Amino acid sequence: MDRGDRIIACCSNLLLSVSIGFLLFSVVSSQIPLGSKLTVEEYNYWFSSNKDYAIGFLNFSDQYIFGVRFNAIYIPSSEQTAIWTAGWNVKVSSKAYFELSLTGEMILFDPAKGKIVWQSKTGNTSVESAVLLDDGNFVLLNRNKSAVWQSFESPSDTILSGQSLSVGQSLRASSRSSLTSYYSLHMNVSGEMQLRWETSIIYWTVGGPQSAVRAMLGSAGILQLLDQQYKAVWSVYGEDHNDSDVKFRFLRLDSDGNLRIYSWENNATSWRTVWQAIINQCDVFATCATNGICTLNASDSYVCWCPFRSTRDSNSECLIPYKPSCKSGSSMILHEHMYLYGIYPPNNTVVQTNLQQCRSMCQKDPSCHAASFINNGTPQCHMMKSRYVGGQSNPSLGSVTFIKTCSDPIAVLPPPVPALRKVSQKICVACLLEVAAASIVVFFMLQFSIGVYLFRRRKHMMQKSALPHIVPNATGCIVFSYSEIKDLTDNFKQQIGQNVFKGMLPDNRLVAVKDLNASIDERRFRAAVLKIGSIYHKNLLRLDGYCYQSGRRLLVYELAKYGSVDKCLEEPRMCKRLTWRKRMDICLSVARAISYLHTGCREFISHGNLKCENVVLDDELEAKVSEFGLRTIQAEASSSGGLAETDVRDFGKMMVVLITGCQNADEACYLSYDKWVKAEKEMAMDQRIAVGADSEELERALRIAFWCLQDDERMRPSMGEVIKVLEGTLTVDPPPPPFAHNQQWPPDDESPSESYSAL
């Protein structure tokens, strides 16, 4: 070893000693003694010494989970995602507490359930303290400062940089519902990393055979499978690997069953997906569960649709319509480019046969509900014996699916064919003249039709050539130039709302163009637009494109046929169509859309300006919420205008307007509450509604609306609770006066609690 090498070795040993010393100091300074306790009500946390991580209770859709989250000062609170949770997202009430007991056991207790909902089972392992390390690992230590238990060895749905997933360990996705998630990531004894649905369905796998013993996410953003000598046998790189500006990375099995790597850059405002295991989300088993068949839309995001039922069917489940008890026989409906599989149970009967035999076998088998035929070198018929199926539809799929349905019975016999009358064989001159005249008329109509067709085709070609740059970007949003916007709106000729103009794309799709009429930073505008464009929900108005040019900021939305709800209430003919049932359907649809923005998106989004003007109706009178996320673009969100509670209050106002028909929301709220207090709630309802509401349903609707309007925002319900009340699955108590500081109410002896004590 030369002199230079000796110097480097000496410096390395010195740095190692200093690092170990700092680590020991951080452990000692951040130790958590036995008997320490955290509660939901006190909103207290334990922190790592570098303050990058915190452990405590996290709000989760009006319930709470206990776990470790990011806490770095430059990560906003809305992005401080959980990286480990106790018991795989066990949810508790607001009275719950977590305790490191005197026996060294971690206990999560929920008084609402009256029991311990999770415990570490470390009571007899000589635990003396706990510590949250600077790498996010929560550790129980014995008197020798050795780890007895650590969160890195009991992962939930996430692993951090430097954390490994060893053979026999697994990640389990958090659930999108109250049920336990079916998705999990396993590292098996064969050296394979696998994504599974339940235990038997493997829909993604890498590695093998038997060389890898662990998976690890490196600090440079590289996910690897390592053997016993820590040699990589499989690797995948995130888009930003080796980027020194990235401080935090994590690998998470998301609730949609896909595995992703996320990165946080110091100058970013949200987590960015830099790699995902499955590019086409429809390839994830049971992506749509029982809600339909998965297909990709123009923005490459997936949607679930049901090809088996009528669009009027309000049932959220998409089930095969055939029932074995069908007495009218069965027929097989063909769906090309579709592949199905059974979900409950997740198994199919597979037979090697041809297409026609596949159809015939399923139709003859009373227990068969559907069959998918696919030929990838070996012709296979997958027969499903359950109404609960999933699958995907894509023009590139070569599979064919047959859906069994009950044949419709013949309602009436066909009318008898009348006997032909004998006609004279003499030439009818009048008849010949009529035929000649009709021929001339048909000739001119044909010429006219051809002329109209050529004119429209020429116009279409001119429009197409005038808009040569209309191509969607990665999120499906089309980037328009200002001249293209002028062309598709015919120079802003038809105004349909405040700063909103009607237009038509080259493919004849009608759109609404909104001029934001504001000066907005280009970078923030593009980032916000791409975020809004990536959001899909059937009750949210789709953003098709945008324009940022010549100082103009314009958004291009799909056009809803009947326009905004406030205009429909004003127009007598449309108002008649807004029956009580339809108005409640609108409220429920809007509630689902806002709930999705609050809890269904990767990042919380507040609408900030919810009102009847921003709810539109499509050609089937289905409600769609528009202008969501504009506060993000215009940077108008504040402590009073950018929170979930503000959206809840605005929803309450919108609901009262729909019930009363009064467009002045504040006045409608005051008057309707006054009627409710006086037990005259029927008088508060819009008298233009032809068929009145059920008294119990009206009472429930008014109660939840008044709860949404409470001055104290802490008393307002979540949108999830609103949905349950509107669906009739959750009861609601009589509300207190919602405008106590702004309105004079009747004397105390006429309070709503006394007036409605019998309810």
- pLDDT for position 211: 84
89 has a pLDDT exceeding 90: no
Q: What percentage of the chain has pLDDT greater than the value 70? A: 83
- Across 590-615, average pLDDT: 87
DSSP structure string for 578-626: --HHHHHHHHHHHHHHHHIIIIISSS----S--SGGGEEE-TT--EEE-
In contact, 159 and 251? CB cutoff 8 Å: yes
In contact, 83 and 68? CB cutoff 8 Å: yes
508 has a pLDDT exceeding 60: yes
How does DSSP classify residue 92?
B
If you average pLDDT over every residue of the chain, what do you get? 82
What whole-number distance in Å separates Cα of residue 357 and Cα of residue 367?
16
656 has a pLDDT exceeding 80: yes
- Across 79-101, average pLDDT: 92
758 has a pLDDT exceeding 70: no
- pLDDT for position 639: 36
14 has a pLDDT exceeding 50: no
27 has a pLDDT exceeding 60: no
Amino acid code (one letter) for 539: N
428 has a pLDDT exceeding 80: no
- 194 or 267, higher pLDDT: 194
Mind listing the pLDDT tens digit for each residue in 454-473?
666 655 554 444 443 444 44
- pLDDT for position 40: 94
- Across 290-317, average pLDDT: 78
Amino acid code (one letter) for 498: Q
- Across 362-382, average pLDDT: 90
- pLDDT for position 410: 39
731 has a pLDDT exceeding 80: yes
- Across 416-427, average pLDDT: 41
Burial class (CB in 10 A: 0-12, 13-18, 19+), 496: middle
Q: What percentage of the chain has pLDDT greater than the value 90? A: 46
- pLDDT for position 602: 65
In contact, 81 and 72? CB cutoff 8 Å: no
DSSP structure string for 324-361: TT-SS-EEEEEEETEEEEE-SS---EEE---HHHHHHH
Distance of CA 471 to the CA centre of its chain: 25
502 has a pLDDT exceeding 90: yes
- pLDDT for position 189: 87
- Across 274-297, average pLDDT: 91
- pLDDT for position 741: 43
What whole-number distance in Å separates Cα of residue 281 and Cα of residue 195?
13
What whole-number distance in Å separates Cα of residue 724 and Cα of residue 718?
10
- pLDDT for position 412: 36
Identify the band that residue 657 occupies on the pLDDT scale cut at 50, 70 and 90: very high
